[in-house]
Amino acid sequence: MSGAKFSEAELRERLSPEEYHVTQEAGTERAFSGRYWDVKDNGTYHCIVCDAALFSSDTKYESGSGWPSFTNPMDLDSVETHTDTSHGMVRTEVTCANCGAHLGHVFPDGPGPTGERYCMNSVSLRLEGEPADD
């Protein structure tokens, strides 16, 4: 990917304070508070910062965690992972490969076929697509 870069001033103008905190300062939204944790609409989840396509609704599932969870990204090259030792824990952080925005974390407790749970912050994402048929 191209490695999109944005100035701090541009991001602070364009993003809400919570979007900025989560994507640029590795913050976390409260569980069960984000706009996508229980959404079942079809579509593609994009990075809120650079608009890169990251996750498909086809891989979204209800993990019970309170955050949108996916079994895998659309393309393994669309995200990067890093060891995160903050808050006295060792976790695997997930960032957008294009712009470096913090998205969430990946855990090894998901369903098949990958066994992984990409636990993302809603404020890091923008869903583009069609509403689900209820």
Map 48-89 to HEC letters. Answer: CCCCCEEEEHHHEECCCCCCCEECCCCCHHHEEEEEECHHHC
Considering only CA atoms, give the Rg of the chain: 14
Cα(11)–Cα(78) distance, integer angstroms: 20
Cα(55)–Cα(127) distance, integer angstroms: 9
59 neighbors 71 (Cβ within 8 angstroms) = yes
Does 119 participate in catalysis according to the annotation? yes
Phi-psi bin for 104: left (phi > 0), alpha (psi -120 to 50), beta? Answer: left
Catalytic residue among 47, 96, 99, 119: 119
Supply the residues annotated as catalytic: 119
